[in-house]
Amino acid sequence: MWKALWVQTGCVLVGLFTAQAACAQEEIASPFEDHFRLSTGLLSATSETEIRLDADDGTPGTLVSAETDLGLRERSEQADVEVELRIRERHRIRFNYFRLDRSATQTIDRQILFGDEVFDAGDLVQSRLDWREFSFTYAYTFLRQERFELYGSFGLHLVEMSAEGEVRADDIREEETQAVPIPAFGLGTLVRFSDKFHFEARADYLTANIDEFDGTVIDLRAALLFRFNRNLAVGAAYILLEREGNSEDVGDSGHFSLRNTGPVLFLRVAF
């Protein structure tokens, strides 16, 4: 995965220098004038994951660390994709997609109650944890100056988590999938330092109760961008993503939490 990161970084730099040579005389527009943005990057994140899957009769399962107890990798690389559309001067909508799939095989050192199954200490457990998230955000710019803007936002995060544990030697297997929508409110800013450099930051947060499900979303992102020409920019960002959910619905109860932190290198195309 690190090789992929370096390859992408090299391609970005080559593309930037090539475009600069071809467009050296082109006027660089303000990021406030973008009507469409597509940002694609590679996130190298450290993950901290907890999961508890209760039995169908409501008996609490064992709270486990996916990385420590099950052996899922702590650091992983995944795509970071974002599309943003500006509607008139102060309105915008943003789409984000995040995906994290991990699997591992590890001998566990303690008994784990996972749903209706019991995994004993010494069992060789094959586990899989898949995470999908698609979010839609509407934002309104309520303060704008020549080199600065501040906006508020409301978003809806559609989260799907699929967990599986299996001990083939004992023919034991348990699988569970949860899909929930979680809303979030946010604030964001854009600061233009010069024609070529600008800074972006945003924070989204909400804790909500939906039926018998409690969910929390925290998104923090800060990025510095180099605007190479009218349509091309490169950026480096640091992000923190936290998701937590607790279900009290008997037969479908449990807990999950996921925390991802790490840097992102990305390329942006704007029109």
Q: What is the DSSP string of 69-115?
A: TT---SEEEEEEEEEEEEETTTEEEEEEEEEEEEEEEEE-SS-EEET
d(CA 110, CA 112): 6
Read off the pLDDT of residues 96-152 as tens digits, 9 standing for 90 and up: 998 889 999 999 999 999 999 999 999 999 999 999 999 999 999 999 998 999 999
Q: What is the pLDDT of residue 11?
A: 53
What is the pTM for the complete model shown?
0.82
d(CA 247, CA 269): 40
Query: Residue written as tokens 């995040």?
Result: 98
197 pLDDT higher than 60: yes
Read off the pLDDT of residues 217-230 as tens digits, 9 standing for 90 and up: 899 999 999 999 98
Q: Could you tell me the two tokens for 267?
A: 């390329």
Read off the pLDDT of residues 51-100 as tens digits, 9 standing for 90 and up: 999 998 889 999 999 999 999 999 988 888 999 999 888 999 999 998 88
- The mean pLDDT of 13-39, rounded to a whole number, is 65
- Residue 30's CB is within 10 A of a number of other CB atoms, namely 13
Please give the share of the chain, as a percent, with pLDDT higher than 70. Answer: 90
1 pLDDT higher than 60: no
Read off the pLDDT of residues 144-160 as tens digits, 9 standing for 90 and up: 998 999 999 999 989 89
